[in-house]
């Protein structure tokens, strides 16, 4: 059986509500002493009035619902410019229309924001020098940016709908999330940083592949590293070769003289001593560089912090080193490398403290990030410039090699930690902060 519509039910209910009154009126009309003409005339008037008011009630109920339906249909079609009339707060129906209008305005603002965000994202994707590809769960390309088109040497219409195997991108969709690979494409070759992630669009899983060309940045970093190395090597070599060349020339002229002076043997001895000294300094320099370049990987073992710190401080005999105990902690580290790092820090602090007849203190504390911070503080003159502290072979100490801090940072980073030096705040001197991850145990 077919169900009645809402407007039909309203019509029937309105008719049923007025039917008793109409029946009573008709009964009174027929029971009274009236002429037939008057009876039929009044009957027609009563029935017509009844039907007119029932229809009017139906219209008052159904028409607002149709208005709301039209508004919702317009919103579904993403037309948020239509508004309902008669929306006001002093009427139940007006409050419904007021809320519908507010909903339309909110959706319009959200749509404008989404369109602006999409336009910005499209602009950024078109301008960045990174290739972006999106594949669906079947491995078919669904999105590519301008740099991706250039990399594959084909326009977007020819790329979309093709599989990763056809485009030569299937090897990059392997489980590894981030890696740097050497690869060649129709539009270029070099070293590429590969990043892969997953997202869902329309309830369907997709894979996002991002290829960033790191050849140029790596070449620039390599060029700067070579420039720094050549500058340091050239400086050290000139410091040794210049006096050697000068003294060698003087000794050559001395040997070519027909009658050498009486003290020529002493001049020869002093000249050869200077040449030997500079050659020895040059040998120390090359050995220090080799030591810096051949740091072996750490072999981690459980290392208790308290005995390690007390053992390191006991090796400094020029002045007493105060130990401020921290909480019990164990590190997973290469004991020899970590001890060498701390010896370097304590020795540097002691060198600085001796200049001002100050003191040195060490300590440690736990951090919330499952790390431990070991600090070494001194009362020395402080650091005039922290820019070149970790530049290889840069030193401010007479006779220093300039690799202690560089080697220390290298050891810290090999253990997954960090090393930083800074001037103490509100106090004279410098403080070194070594952060290392705690042992899993």
Which tens digits make up the pLDDT trace of 38-49? 778 887 888 888
Range of the domain at 263: 220-293
Sequence-separated (6 or more) residues with CB below 8 Å from residue 44: none
**Based on the domain organization, do 424 and 325 belong to the same domain?**
yes
At residue 420, the 3 state secondary structure works out as strand
Residue 306 corresponds to which tokens in the numbers above? Answer: 């308290």
Q: Which of 115-124, 352-361, 405-414 has the highest mean pLDDT?
A: 352-361
Sign of CA dihedral 221, 224, 228, 230: positive
Of 95-99, 156-160, 298-302, the least confident:
95-99
Query: Quick one: 209 and 267 in the same domain?
Result: no
Residue identified by tokens 């009035």 is 49
**SS3 (DSSP) at 141:** strand
For the segment 326-382, what is each residue's pLDDT rounded down to a tens digit? 898 888 888 888 888 888 888 888 888 888 888 899 999 988 878 899 999 998 887
pLDDT exceeds 50 at position 414:
yes
Model pLDDT for residues 186-219, shown as the tens digit of each residue: 887 778 888 888 888 878 888 888 888 877 776 7
User: What confidence tier does 441 reach under pLDDT thresholds 50, 70, 90?
Assistant: very low
- Cα-based angle 26, 28, 34 (whole degrees, multiple of 5): 95
**Residue (of 405, 412, 433) closest to 288 by Cα position:** 405
Same domain (yes/no): 432, 352 = yes
Model pTM greater than 0.75? no
| Model pLDDT, residue 139 | 87
Indicate the range of 10-19, 258-267, 363-372 predicted with least confidence: 258-267
- For residue 158, the domain's CATH number is 3.30.450.20
Nearest to 345 by CA among 313, 381, 298: 313
Q: How far apart are CA 360 and CA 352, in angstroms?
A: 9
State the Cα–Cα distance between residues 423 and 93, nearest whole angstrom.
72
In a domain, 309, yes or no: yes
For residues 230 and 305, membership in a common domain is answered with: no
392 pLDDT more than 60: no
Q: Using the 8-state DSSP alphabet, how is residue 384 labeled?
A: S
Q: Is pLDDT above 90 for 266?
A: no
How confident is the prediction for the chain on average, in pLDDT? 79
The verdict on residue 61 lying in a domain is yes
In a domain, 89, yes or no: no
């Amino acid at each position: 059986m077919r169900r009645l519509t809402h407007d039909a039910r309203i019509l029937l209910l309105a008719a049923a509500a007025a039917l008793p009154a109409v029946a009573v009126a008709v009964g009174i009309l027929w029971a009274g002493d009236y002429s037939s003409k008057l009876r039929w005339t009044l009957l027609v008037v009563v029935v017509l009035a009844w039907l007119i008011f029932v229809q009017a009630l139906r219209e008052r109920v159904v028409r607002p619902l149709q208005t709301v339906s039209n508004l919702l249909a317009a919103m579904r079609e993403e037309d948020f410019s239509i508004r309902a009339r008669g929306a006001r707060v002093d009427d139940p129906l007006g409050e419904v229309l007021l809320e519908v209008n507010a909903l339309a305005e909110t959706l319009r603002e959200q749509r404008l924001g989404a369109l602006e965000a999409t336009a910005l994202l499209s602009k950024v994707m078109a301008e960045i020098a990174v290739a972006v590809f999106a594949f669906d769960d079947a491995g078919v390309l669904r999105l590519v940016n301008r740099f991706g088109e250039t990399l594959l040497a084909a326009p977007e219409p020819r790329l979309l709908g093709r599989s990763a195997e056809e485009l030569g991108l299937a090897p990059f969709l392997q489980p590894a999330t981030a890696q740097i690979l050497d690869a060649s494409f129709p539009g270029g070759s070099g070293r590429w940083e590969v990043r892969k992630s997953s997202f869902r669009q329309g309830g369907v899983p997709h894979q996002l592949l991002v290829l960033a060309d790191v050849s140029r940045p790596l070449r620039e970093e390599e060029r700067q590293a070579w420039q720094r190395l050549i500058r340091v090597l050239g400086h050290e070599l000139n410091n040794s070769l210049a006096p050697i060349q000068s003294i060698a020339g003087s000794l050559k002229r001395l040997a070519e003289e027909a009658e050498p002076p009486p003290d020529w043997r002493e001049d020869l001895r002093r000249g050869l001593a200077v040449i030997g000294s500079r050659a020895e300094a040059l040998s120390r320099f090359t050995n220090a560089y080799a030591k810096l370049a051949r740091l072996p990987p750490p072999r981690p073992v459980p290392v208790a912090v308290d005995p390690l710190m007390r053992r390191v401080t006991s090796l400094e005999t020029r002045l007493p080193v105060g130990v401020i105990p921290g909480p019990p902690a164990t590190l997973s580290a290469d004991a020899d490398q970590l001890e060498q790092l701390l010896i370097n820090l304590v020795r540097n602090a002691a060198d600085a403290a001796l200049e001002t007849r100050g003191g040195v203190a060490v300590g440690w504390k736990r951090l919330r990030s499952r790390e431990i911070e070991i600090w070494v503080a001194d009362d020395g003159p402080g650091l005039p410039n922290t820019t070149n502290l970790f530049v290889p072979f840069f030193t401010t100490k007479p006779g220093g090699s300039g690799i202690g801090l560089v080697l220390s940072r290298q050891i810290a980073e090999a253990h997954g930690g960090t090393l930083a030096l800074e001037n103490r705040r509100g106090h004279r001197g410098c403080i070194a902060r070594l952060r290392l991850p705690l042992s899993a145990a």
